[in-house]
Amino acid sequence: MIATIAFYVFAAVMLASAAAVVSSRNPVHSVLFLILAFFNAAALFLLAGAEFLAMILVIVYVGAVAVLFLFVVMMLDVNFDQLRGGLQRYAPVGAAVGAVLLAELVLVIGGWRFAPDVAALRLAPRPEQISNTAAIGDLLYTRYIFLFQIAGLVLLVAMIGAIVLTHRERHEARRQDIRIQNARTPAETLALVRVPLGAGISTLGIYHPVVAEPEDTELAPPGFDNPDLHTHEAH
């Protein structure tokens, strides 16, 4: 009785949080609702006896994937008002894609039937010679290896899309030109400064980066009018 009540509670919260992920206007809120859905799904796995899947869901998806989504959403700085501006232009394409997905779901649900021996399989005892984790690995990497590879390709496409969105063109960003840096000579970047005795440095000459002539030259020693020394002392 308690297990049945817990199942319906966790399932209801998971469905509500999944709907909030899609309907929320704030992407940060969507990620937080997604984390809530992951936790409730892990609780359902625990009720079903799949403790390994529950721990993997919490550790991998909540601890890594969802947190990564949160950081990406916060770092992209996407102008959502600009994205919503082209909604009417792409509405027919989105409606066509949604219609295709709806038709596929109807075909899948309409053609789904219970297996004849599903009741016997549900009540069948679990094999004692292997663990739950070993049984999952046996099925995942033998019978469902093709679907496992397809899921990996989907994640690869999602990763490439995130990289493309992150590396969009930014005019205010500073860029590095290796060709110009390699073509620079010491005469363009360094200046030889002759420091007289008593100026604070006992060496006869030092190299320092070339800097612009400062407006305030009060840092120079009194009675010494060497502009190079003014530049060095200001630097």
* CA angle, 77 then 82 then 83, to 5°: 85
SS3 205: strand
Greater pLDDT, 49 or 17 = 17
Q: Is the pLDDT of residue 186 over 70?
A: yes
Q: Is the pLDDT of residue 5 over 60?
A: yes
- Extents of the domains making up the chain: 1-78, 131-170, 186-234
Sequence-distant (≥ 6) Cβ neighbours of residue 205 within 8 angstroms:
192, 193, 194, 195
Tens digit of pLDDT for each residue in 125-141?
Answer: 566 777 777 878 888 88
Q: Is the pLDDT of residue 182 over 60?
A: yes
d(C-alpha 215, C-alpha 141), whole Å = 72
Q: Give residue 15's pLDDT.
A: 93
Q: Is the pLDDT of residue 209 over 70?
A: no
Whole-structure pTM value: 0.50
From residue 203, alpha-carbon distances to 190, 192, 194, 195 in Å are: 17, 12, 9, 7
Record: fold of 1-78: Four Helix Bundle (Hemerythrin (Met), subunit A) (1.20.120)
